[in-house]
């Protein structure tokens, strides 16, 4: 197992859980995240570095000081915040990520894990989406992620960089990041637990491929731990289940009968999700490194409801 892991975005939704997984198996975690995220990390860490991904010298100092043997790169602007500031999204998500990969390559650090997204695909794809489907995103978030994927593969092929990448679909989690357009299911369940009504930013029939947070964070540790020779692909798609907004309302109402809900067909979020596929072909991940989701839709809703009740 790894001695020291650097997790960028270590105070984020995924980063905090990945850190817990790694610490539980004896890996020292160094978390790198924005100063504004201070306080988000709740468990002891080997070290916390507060700074911006755009600060090359701080990244260099961090790699030199802690000498990680794995880098899990999760720091990113998400879909909503990228759309609000495309120029900054390019600097943070694309330029800074590529710079970090080069710094790791120079120091012979690997594996290097990159969190990509189903948003790297273009709209109106046939479902299930094959792993080798061309990636032509029409959104800036997806465009920044494709840029890093391409450069990671280039450095892998030309210079032996140990680049590992997963494309996640919608991730359901108890504390959904505010900048994610796909956070509405978690927010709906939290509203139901508070006794509030909710308006889904989508139509009743809208849904997309989904994973629960714990499966996502486990998958990151698993792909980083897999023997390099077993990985036949540069990047893998993951999938667990698909549900619609109407499925979600019924699942919530079976637990909170008073819950009522409106819908927003034709909204920008509805338009975005409607055009995303229901199923991604994850057979390569299953075959190469034993990927298997543990949470189906019911188990996810139950986990989110238990969390929401614990907060209200």
Ligand X SMILES: NC(=O)c1ccc[n+]([C@@H]2O[C@H](COP(=O)([O-])OP(=O)(O)OC[C@H]3O[C@@H](n4cnc5c(N)ncnc54)[C@H](O)[C@@H]3O)[C@@H](O)[C@H]2O)c1
Restricting to residues 89-108, name those near ligand X by CB under 6 A. 92
CB of residue 258 to ligand X, shortest distance in Å: 29
CB of residue 52 to ligand X, shortest distance in Å: 4
| Residue 132 vs residues 121, 190, 210, 233: alpha-carbon distances, Å | 11, 37, 20, 10
Q: Which range in 50-58, 59-67, 269-277, 285-293 contacts ligand X by CB under 6 A?
A: 50-58
77 binds ligand X (CB under 6 A): yes
Nearer to ligand X, 176 or 192 (CB): 176
Q: Give the number of other CB atoms < 10 A from CB of residue 76.
A: 28
List all residues 6 or more positions away from 180 whose beta carbon is below 8 Å from its beta carbon: 78, 79, 80
- Closest-by-Cβ residue to ligand X is 12
CB of residue 293 to ligand X, shortest distance in Å: 15
CB of residue 217 to ligand X, shortest distance in Å: 9
22 binds ligand X (CB under 6 A): no
Binding mask 180-219 for ligand X (x = CB under 6 A): x-x-------------------------------------
Out of 2, 66, 121, 168, the residue judged to bind ligand X by CB under 6 A: 168
Nearer to ligand X, 171 or 200 (CB): 171
Nearer to ligand X, 54 or 199 (CB): 54
Q: Which range in 5-13, 156-164, 198-206, 268-276 contacts ligand X by CB under 6 A?
A: 5-13
Out of 27, 31, 62, 76, the residue judged to bind ligand X by CB under 6 A: 76
Out of 171, 188, 203, 249, the residue judged to bind ligand X by CB under 6 A: 171
DSSP string across the chain: --SEEEEETTTSHHHHHHHHHHHHTT-EEEEEE-GGGTT---S--SEEEE--TT-HHHHHHHHHHH--SEEEE-----HHHHHH-HHHHIIIIIIHHHHHHHHHHHTT---EEEEEEGGGS-SS--SSBPTT-----SSHHHHHHHHHHHHHHHHHHHH---EEEEEE-EEE-SS--TT-GGGHHHHHHHHHHHT--EE-SS-TT-EEEEEEHHHHHHHHHHHHHS-GGG--SSEEE---EEEEHHHHHHHHHTT-TT--EE--TTSHHHHHHHTS-S-B--HHHHHHH-------HHHHHHHHHHHHHHH-
Beta strands 207-212; 198-199: pairing state: unpaired
Nearer to ligand X, 5 or 256 (CB): 5
Binding mask 24-43 for ligand X (x = CB under 6 A): ---------xx--x------
Nearer to ligand X, 40 or 299 (CB): 40
231 binds ligand X (CB under 6 A): no
- The residues of the shown chain that bind ligand X, judged by CB under 6 A, are 9, 11-15, 33-34, 37, 52-54, 74-78, 92, 115, 117, 168, 170-171, 177, 179-180, 182
């Amino acid at each position: 197992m790894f001695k020291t892991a650097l997790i960028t975005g270590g105070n984020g939704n995924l980063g905090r859980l990945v850190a817990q997984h790694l610490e539980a198996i004896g890996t020292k975690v160094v978390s790198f995240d924005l100063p504004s995220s201070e306080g988000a990390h709740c468990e002891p860490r080997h070290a916390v570095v507060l700074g911006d991904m755009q600060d090359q010298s701080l990244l260099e100092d961090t790699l030199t000081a802690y000498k990680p043997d794995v880098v899990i790169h999760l720091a990113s602007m998400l879909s909503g915040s990228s759309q609000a500031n495309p120029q900054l999204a390019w600097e943070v998500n694309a330029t800074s990520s590529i710079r970090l990969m080069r710094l790791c390559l120079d120091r012979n650090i690997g594996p290097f894990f990159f969190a990509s997204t189903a948003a790297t695909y273009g709209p109106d794809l046939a479902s299930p989406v094959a792993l080798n489907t061309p990636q032509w995103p029409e959104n800036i978030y997806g465009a920044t992620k494709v840029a890093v994927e391409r450069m990671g593969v280039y450095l892998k092929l030309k210079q032996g960089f140990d680049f590992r990448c997963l494309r996640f679909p919608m991730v359901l989690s108890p504390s959904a990041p505010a900048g994610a357009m796909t956070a509405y299911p978690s927010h709906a369940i939290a509203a139901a637990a508070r006794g509030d009504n909710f308006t889904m930013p989508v139509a009743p029939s809208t849904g997309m491929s989904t994973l629960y947070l714990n499966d996502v964070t486990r998958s990151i540790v698993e792909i980083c731990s897999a023997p390099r020779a077993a990985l036949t692909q540069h990047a893998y798609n993951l999938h667990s289940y698909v549900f619609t907004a109407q499925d979600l309302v019924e699942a919530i109402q079976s637990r909170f009968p008073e819950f009522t809900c409106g819908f927003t067909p034709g909204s920008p979020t509805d338009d975005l999700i409607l055009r995303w596929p229901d199923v991604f072909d994850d057979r390569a991940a299953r075959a190469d490194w034993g990927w298997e989701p543990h949470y189906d839709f019911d188990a996810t809703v139950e986990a989110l409801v238990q969390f929401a009740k614990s907060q209200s």
